[in-house]
Amino acid sequence: TYYYTPKLRSHLRRIVSTCDTCQRKRRRNASRSQGGVVRPPGLSFDIGNVVVVDLQGPLVDPSAPQSDSKRWILTILDPVSFSVDYDILPYPTTSLVISAMERSFAVRGIPLVLVSDVGSVFTSAPFLYFLKTWNVRACWLPRDARGYGGFHERLHGQLLEQIRARLIDSARSPDPTPLSTVVAESVSALNRLPLYDFGGLSAHELHFCRRPRYPVGHDDSDEHNVSLEKLKEWLPSLTILDPQREILQDDLLRMADEVATRRCETMVDYWDLWCERSDRVRQRFEKLPLPRAHMHIFKPGDK
User: Which helix H or strand E contains 87, and what residues bound it?
Assistant: strand 84-89
pLDDT at 39: 44
Q: For CATH 3.30.420.10, list the domain ranges present in the chain.
A: 20-191
pLDDT at 240: 44
Please, is 41 exposed, middle or buried when counting C-beta atoms within 10 Å of its C-beta (0-12, 13-18, 19+)? buried
Instruction: Establish how many alpha carbons lie within 13 A of residue 179's alpha carbon, considering only the half-sphere containing its beta carbon.
Output: 23
Q: How far is C-alpha 32 from the chain's CA centre?
A: 19
CA dihedral 60, 63, 68, 72 (to 10 degrees): -40
pLDDT at 206: 61
Residues of the chain with pLDDT under 50: 31-44, 146-148, 196-199, 235-242, 244, 303
Q: Any idea what DSSP says for residue 297?
A: P
pLDDT at 170: 80
Q: What is the CA radius of gyration of the chain?
A: 25
pLDDT at 236: 46
User: Which helix H or strand E contains 57, and what residues bound it?
Assistant: strand 50-60
* pLDDT tens figures, 81-133: 777 888 888 888 899 999 999 998 888 888 888 888 777 788 888 998 899 89
The pTM for the full model equals 0.58
pLDDT at 97: 92
- CATH for the 20-191 domain, from 2.40.40.20, 3.30.420.10, 3.40.710.10, 3.50.50.100: 3.30.420.10
